[in-house]
Structure 1
Amino acid sequence: MAVITNVREQEVVLPPEPGLTPEEIVARAAALVPLLVENQAATEARTHYSEDVHRLFADAGFYRILVPRRYGGYEFGVDTFMRVAMTLTRGCPSTGWMFTLGAAHALAAATLFGERAQDEIFAGGDFICPATVMPSGTAERVDGGWLISGTWAYCSGAPFATAFMGHTLVPYAEGEPPMPMLFIAPREQWRRLDDWGGQLGLKGSGSHSIVIENAFVPDHRTIGSHISGVSVTEGTPGLRLHGNPQYGGGPLSFMILESAVLAVGMAQGMLDAYEDLMRARTTSFPPITGRAENPDFQFWYGEASAKIATAEGAILNALREWTETCARGSELFTREQELRIATIGREAVRLSWDAVQRYLFPTAGSSSVRSGERVERIWRDMSTLHSHAGIAVYLSTMANRELAMARFGIEDPHH
């Protein structure tokens, strides 16, 4: 069991609805699904969800799910957040992607950064913070911190963001190659480019680039590591500050589970669209019957449904294991445990994609894959998900090797 010490004594800022429960906030997400489905085309055209939807999310408390209670957050837990994320993605993949990859990083910020930084970045209560893993830009050492400049691409959640978390390369020692440094910058230190929407899918995910121009980032808002290489086995600033074991968990595995939850939500949305076609359309070949009465369509639906349900079950189990590992103590969140949970997420992505590309998309019919149709849009979005470096490169190759090395005690030169 984790032993929490040195928890700061301070007056807790109450959230807007102190009595709100996890079940109620998940139900609010489910109630918004029809609206998100209806808005999909407009969301793509705009390249992000609307100001009205953003306001609905804020009023529902979605941006405070993972924010610590002392800053006016609900601190509900990762399972509640992921259920909301999966539900929103089921309605609109772009909206779910933009929300998840903006709001989820409240957990990393509350885990990895110290009290002073958290006092600054969580001051507004609602927290939306895109985070990228590719180092970019330049950093010049100055008294008390760094002057950072550069452009960071694929900043999902940027349109309504309150902060940005990125990496740059810095020379920590003379004669040594530069190493990654994680930093967090509040909204007033950067600007968003209007450069998103030309990709195959996820056109409405708000994944614009962010530009920083000679901004001073103090040392207390930097960490001398890449986020994927941070070890929590000796405890974390957030664990000591908040006393909640979830702020002592591994950031790498949680980030991977974000992508997996998005994949499952997209597949669930595709199954919903396919079910509508099953009820509304007939077969193309005799005997002409409703698709729901046809043995072939019954088989395809059943196969896809089972794979998607299995993927969801794997994710929920991985989240439970993530939470239980936190509760038992950060020292158990070893590199091996992080990677084991991460690879469960990878398998959930594979199951979801297999259900869509093998059974649902090919048999939906060509009229269902015209531009703007829900089936066509989700297929594009899931295809684009597979171009994410974390899924296409890291999880498919590097994670396997790193897991084996961790298991057999072989030193990884990159960590």
Structure 2
Amino acid sequence: MTHEVVSRIEELSGQLAATAPETERLGKLSDESVKLLRQTGIMRMLQPTEYGGLAAHPRDYAEAVMAVSRNCGSTGWVTGVVGAHPWEMALMDRRLQEEVWGENPEAWIASPYAVMGVAKQTDGGYTLNGRWAFSSGTDHCDWIFLGALLADTEGNPVMPPTVLHVVLPRKDYTIVDDSWDVIGLQGTGSKDIIVDGAFIPAYRTIEMEAVAEGELAAERAGRTDTVYKLPFWSMFPLGITAAVIGIAEGALAAHLDYQRNRVTATGTMIKDDPIVLSAISEAAADIAASRSQLLDGISRLYDLADAGKPISFEDRAVVRRNQIRCAWRAVAAVDQIFARSGGNAARRQNLMQRFWRDAHVGLQHAIHTPGSIYHSTALTTMGLEPEGPLRMMI
């Protein structure tokens, strides 16, 4: 059954698609894009119900992100990143949740989580300094999650290293406006963030390890909805990969529209060219497989949590491996159809080139790096125990 948010997105699909050129030109979401997203309710899908959210099944959330991304890759990407943050906010101190959503349930929260700053211990909390890259959708957000390395009162890193997720209001950080000049996902406005000595009260922080496992964080936060019992590295990558798959679906739709009546330079109708038609079918099957595998993975983890069963490291590793493979498979399929679209596909007025650029830049995100994840998953499925860095981001 189609979720109500997905249905609203599909009803607004034409309007969302129409915003894409301006969003790309601005280098951030246009005001119309933001307005339409608020109408759909997608940013509140993973938000707690007491703050106007839906506490939705993550499968429905991923399908909603795909639906947006099919029309505008940049807008879909922002929903995949910013839309995931209410999930972690639900696991934070209730005082912070009240600050963020108490007066404005529509408040958006940016990130990044990469450890690009240092949080030095001080009375009542921490002093934060650093510069972070890739804060998608940040111009439209009122708060931000940032990853930071915990340091003692002298500024020396605590050993063993401890990563904090810290939350700041908009007044406590600076957005670097000229820091997003890229070839794809231009409209995401994924700009740099600078923090210079901001004070972070302790209740606005959480240790990364506390949310990595899932169930423990939900218990501490008093959350009983199943969605909040899932592991961080299963939930956060979900929306990002969903955006890439949605972009691939948009590329396929644009390709079909373009090829339907196209005649090649040799006078051949594409509809009569068996080689191109075969490539279209293979690409369509690969994109569909990526979609199904991504949704199946998060659904299996949800079902385990819902049944009160533990989610093992192997469960998490396999889902992460498959999630990465979904993204690479979908983008490879886009390459196959783009290569058979002729020279006119590279023209700015052809939708294919924007989807192609967006898909490749989406694949560059750190959560799509296969190396250590594939290595770790192979060891795990052999019954061996990965150690140290091989357990990162799983």
**Which TM-score applies when normalising by structure 1?**
0.86
Cα deviation, residue 412, structure 1? 1.5
Cα deviation, residue 62, structure 1? 2.0
Whole-Å Cα distance in 1 between the matches of residues 254 and 87 of structure 2?
33
Look up the equivalent residue of 2:280 and give its one-letter code: Y
2:241 aligned partner: 260
* Superposed CA offset, 1:233-272 (max 9, x none): 5x22467523201111011022222222112101101101
Q: Contact conserved, 2:108 with 2:140, CA < 8 A, in 1?
A: yes
2:375 aligned partner: 401
1:294 aligned partner: 273
Indicate which of 171, 184, 190 corresponds to 1:188.
Answer: 171
Q: Contact conserved, 2:74 with 2:187, CA < 8 A, in 1?
A: yes
Look up the equivalent residue of 1:213 and give its one-letter code: D
Indicate which of 302, 305, 316 corresponds to 1:338.
Answer: 316
> Where does the alignment leave 5 or more consecutive residues of structure 2 unmatched?
none
Q: Contact conserved, 2:129 with 2:198, CA < 8 A, in 1?
A: yes
Indicate which of 303, 310, 314 corresponds to 2:289.
Answer: 310
Cα deviation, residue 376, structure 1? 1.1
2:111 aligned partner: 131
Aligned partner of residue 213 in structure 2, secondary structure: coil
Whole-Å Cα distance in 1 between the matches of residues 2 and 158 of structure 2?
52
Whole-Å Cα distance in 1 between the matches of residues 217 and 161 of structure 2?
25
Aligned partner of residue 109 in structure 2, secondary structure: coil
* Superposed CA offset, 1:160-184 (max 9, x none): 1132111111225887365322212
2:355 aligned partner: 378
The count of aligned residue pairs is 385
2:387 aligned partner: 412
Indicate which of 193, 196, 200 corresponds to 1:210.
Answer: 193
Whole-Å Cα distance in 2 between the matches of residues 389 and 65 of structure 1?
24
CA-based RMSD: 2.3
> Where does the alignment leave 5 or more consecutive residues of structure 1 unmatched?
1-20
1:16-415 aligned within 5 A: 23-111=3-91, 113-123=92-102, 124-171=104-151, 176=159, 178-225=161-208, 230-232=212-214, 235-237=216-218, 241-286=222-267, 288-289=268-269, 291-329=270-308, 332-357=310-335, 359-392=336-369, 396-407=370-381, 408-410=383-385, 412-414=387-389
Instruction: Decide which moves more: 162-171 or 268-277.
Output: 162-171
Whole-Å Cα distance in 1 between the matches of residues 205 and 284 of structure 2?
44
Look up the equivalent residue of 1:277 and give its one-letter code: Y
Cα deviation, residue 363, structure 1? 0.5
Q: Contact conserved, 2:244 with 2:363, CA < 8 A, in 1?
A: no
Cα deviation, residue 305, structure 1? 0.9
Instruction: Decide which moves more: 172-181 or 117-126.
Output: 172-181
Aligned partner of residue 75 in structure 1, secondary structure: coil
Name the CA shift for 1:230/1:141 in 2 (closer, same or farther; >3 Å).
same
Name the CA shift for 1:226/1:192 in 2 (closer, same or farther; >3 Å).
farther
Instruction: Decide which moves more: 245-254 or 257-266.
Output: 257-266
**Percentage of identical aligned residues:** 24
Cα deviation, residue 340, structure 1? 1.1
Cα deviation, residue 127, structure 1? 4.1
Whole-Å Cα distance in 1 between the matches of residues 150 and 221 of structure 2?
28
Cα deviation, residue 374, structure 1? 1.2
Look up the equivalent residue of 2:257 and give its one-letter code: D
Cα deviation, residue 294, structure 1? 2.9
1:4 aligned partner: none
Look up the equivalent residue of 1:117 and give its one-letter code: L
* Superposed CA offset, 1:199-235 (max 9, x none): 12111112112222322211112123368x82235x2
Aligned partner of residue 107 in structure 1, secondary structure: helix
Q: Contact conserved, 1:48 with 1:204, CA < 8 A, in 2?
A: yes
Whole-Å Cα distance in 2 between the matches of residues 406 and 218 of structure 1?
39
Q: Contact conserved, 1:257 with 1:342, CA < 8 A, in 2?
A: no
Name the CA shift for 1:43/1:219 in 2 (closer, same or farther; >3 Å).
same
Name the CA shift for 1:222/1:34 in 2 (closer, same or farther; >3 Å).
same
Q: Contact conserved, 2:118 with 2:151, CA < 8 A, in 1?
A: no
Cα deviation, residue 325, structure 1? 2.0
Q: Contact conserved, 1:231 with 1:334, CA < 8 A, in 2?
A: no
